[in-house]
Amino acid sequence: MRKLRRKTGKKVQFRHDPAPEELLQTLNEVPLFSELEAVLEKIQEIFGQAADLVTRRLKVNSGQLALVYLDGMVNKTSVEKVLNEILLIRPQAEDAGLRLGTDLVRWLERGLAVGNVKVEESFGGVVRGILNGETALLADGEGEALLLETEEFEKRAVSEPQVEALVRGPREGFVENIGTNLTMIRRRLRHPSLRVEKLVLGDLTNTKVAVLYLEGVALEAVVEEVRRRIRQIKIDGVLESNYLEELIEDSPFSIFPQIGTTERPDRAVASLLEGRVLILTDGTPFVLYVPMIFTSLIHSPEDYYHRWHLVLGIRLLRTLGFFITLFLPSVYIALTTFHQELIPTPLAISLAMQREQVPYPAAVEAFLMQLIFEILVEAGLRLPRPLGQAISIVGALVIGEAAVQAGLVSAAMVIVISTTAIAAFLFPSYELSLSVRLLRFPMMLLSSVLGLFGIFYGLMLLLTHLVQLRSFGLPFMTPMAPFFARDQHDELFRAPWWAMRKRPKIIGSSDPTRQTSSISRKHLELEAEVEERKKEK
């Protein structure tokens, strides 16, 4: 049975030791003791006599002060600066006749040159502050503590994004520190309407989470729904943003992602400007944005950094890659197994000659080759980068050539699988690439049983599923289904910036205007004509 002593000297008893996830909540109800040694002893007990818990005692007048922090979580220079300031303040306090207690604590609160100072009266607040890298200043004879902002620890420097690399565009990517990520967003969106709401999730990890949105642009209903879903999360730990993604998405059994992810500050700010809500998680460079639509998965930030004429062809190529990745092996199986009459005669003869030495059906051949390729891809990702690239390329060439020479697969099948594999990496979204790669297998199974009818049946099921999906209440296939003509200027093609005067109809309907005026070719021609007339006069 645990006993805790209050400031009054009375003992507080608990029927049993609280579970780890309940410990901080329990300590929130326990006020700090007035005796400094009792407080320090209790903090040591809570941390289990941790070797990295540092306690620095100081004498002031007839009593003592103590600084408590975790080694490696604080800036040593800031702590030393606080120590020096206390030593400088001490003679002033003695001259003023201040003794340990409330007067001296308030004196220190006003006099210390620290960015942020908070007053805590419970063990839970002090322990949570120490875990977050703050330094606790405790005084003998006082049931309050000052939490000084001294947080600093080793973190990765800002570098180029690894997953969303671009040819043209900013080279900065998010890092694992939520404070740095917030700063990068603030640098790009310098407006007081940007709202930042901070929360703490994970009973054991106490992970910092931030919700960002533009007030007056984001729909209040979406913001409130994000708050509601996040506050309902009760979990031991949050180590990556995918924890939150799975806990707050609309359809957890769907293979398609319904929440967007990005490691690029420019894309995150663009989402805010469209009326979306960002969710930042400490410890990961991937930021979530909601709501999300299907076409966002095939859009790249680079689409807005090139001239709009080029983007039309690039997006059409990605759309074609989606259908190639999903259906090419299935169509090959259906044509060679059920519908040979649809193949041109010379090509049919060539395929028949290639398959003459293959001992099993086209469906088995396709499944084996697809499985081998997926193994090579995963092996290339898990191995060290120089080895991974060599194994992926050499392995694919050697295995493909050896399989054809041994008569295990046909050369046409190697071409089909290779084309399918390359097309899968056309998508800017890695999550979409994974989803389509997995969907290939059921589509191949349907085509091997029902031929082209199986492919159409699978396509109908897929479209029905996509139309039913929602992302925080927003239809996943909007603006295609339901159809909004106004939003087609940034879907399969991108209109020039001067033509995109409105935000997406549903996402940014709180403030639909993106531009107050537009510059069209006709306007430019009129201006040129006016200038010519002026010169003639």
Give the Cα separation of 146 and 136 in Å (integer): 6
Q: What is the average pLDDT across 234-258? A: 92
Angle between helices 411-423 and 308-337 (to 10 degrees): 150
281 — phi, psi (to 5°)?
-125, 130
Winning range, highest mean pLDDT, from 13-17, 24-28, 96-100, 466-470: 466-470
377-393 per-position pLDDT tens digit: 787 777 776 666 666 66
| Contact by Cβ (8 Å): 121, 33 | no
| Contact by Cβ (8 Å): 485, 302 | no
The verdict on pTM exceeding 0.75 is yes
Tell me what percent of the residues of the chain surpass a pLDDT of 90.
31
Residue 61 has pLDDT above 50, yes or no: yes
Q: Provide the pLDDT for residue 8.
A: 44
One-letter amino acid of 515? Q
C-beta atoms surrounding 57 within 10 Å? 14
| Contact by Cβ (8 Å): 302, 209 | no
Whole-number average pLDDT of the chain: 83
Q: What is the average pLDDT across 386-401? A: 66
Give the Cα separation of 90 and 238 in Å (integer): 43
Write the DSSP symbol of residue 507. Answer: T
**Residue closest to 489 by CA, chosen among 481, 291, 214, 498:** 498
**Residue closest to 413 by CA, chosen among 346, 328, 317:** 328
Structure tokens at 32: 């700090």
Structure tokens at 56: 């620095």
Indicate the range of 107-111, 422-426, 469-473 predicted with least confidence: 107-111
The model's confidence at residue 465, banded by pLDDT at 50, 70 and 90, is very high
Q: Provide the pLDDT for residue 65.
A: 84
423-438 per-position pLDDT tens digit: 888 888 888 989 999 9
Q: Output the CA–CA distances (angstroms, integers) from residue 474 to 186, 207, 260, 399, in the order listed.
A: 27, 28, 13, 46
Structure tokens at 317: 């190529």
The model's confidence at residue 451, banded by pLDDT at 50, 70 and 90, is very high
| Contact by Cβ (8 Å): 185, 452 | no
305 — phi, psi (to 5°)?
-110, -5
Give the Cα separation of 375 and 440 in Å (integer): 15
Q: What is the average pLDDT across 79-104? A: 63
Q: Provide the pLDDT for residue 394.
A: 63
Per domain, the residue ranges of the chain are 3-148, 308-468
Give the Cα separation of 181 and 405 in Å (integer): 53
**Residue closest to 195 by CA, chosen among 161, 226, 174:** 226
Q: Provide the pLDDT for residue 107.
A: 64
* Backbone region of residue 9 per phi and psi (left: phi > 0; alpha: psi in -120 to 50; beta: other values): left
Q: Provide the pLDDT for residue 90.
A: 58
The model's confidence at residue 359, banded by pLDDT at 50, 70 and 90, is confident
Q: Provide the pLDDT for residue 398.
A: 72
